[in-house]
Structure 1
Amino acid sequence: MTATTTAAPREETSPAVLLPVSWRWPAIYGVLTAVTLVVFTLLPERGQETTFQLSRATDLIAIPNFAVPSVLTNWVLTAIMLALTLFVTRLALARKKVPVWAPIVFGTAFVLSFLVWVGAGRATVIPLTTLLQGALALSVPLVFGALCGVLCERSGIVNIAIEGQLLGGAFLAAVIGSLTSSAYLGMIAAPIAGALVGVLLSFFAVRYWVDQIIVGVVLNVLVIGLTSFLFSTVLTENAEQFNARQRLPNLPIPLLSEIPVIGPVLFNQNLLVYLMYVAVIVLQIFLFRSRWGLRVRSVGEHPKAADTVGIKVNRTRVRNTILGGAVAGLGGAFFTVGSGLAFGKEMSAGQGYIALAAMILGKWNPTGALAAALLFGFSKNLGNVLSTIGSPVPSEFLLMLPYVVTIFAVAGFVGRVRAPAAENIPYIK
Structure 2
Amino acid sequence: MAKRLDPRTLPDFENRKVVDDYMGRLDTHGVSRRDFLALASAGAAASVGAAALGLPSVAVADPSGKIAYLAWSASTEYNQLVSKGAEAASKALGLNYVFLDGQIDSTRQLNQFEQLTTTQAAGGFFNILDGSALKRVSQIAEDTKTYFGAVWDSVAWYTPFEAGDYYTLYAVPEEDDAHRRVTAEVLKAVTESFGGGDVVALTGTPGNWCEAARNRGRDDAFKDFPKTKLVDQLPGKWLREESLRATEDLLSRNKNVVGIITQNDDEAQGALAALRNAGIKPGQDVFIGGADGTSLGAQAIKRGLQTATSGNSPVYTGALFAARIYDVTHGWKPRAAERQLYWRALTVTKDNVDPYIDRYVDDKGVEPFDYRRLSHVAGGDAWDPQADLYPIDLERHWRGYPKPEGWAPPKAYAEAKANGEFDAVKAEYAAANKIKFDGPSPNRKA
Provide TM-score, normalisation by structure 2.
0.24
- Tell me which structure has the larger Cα radius of gyration: 1
Structure whose residues are more often helix by fraction:
1
* Structure ranking higher on relative contact order (CA contacts 8 Å, 6+ apart): 1
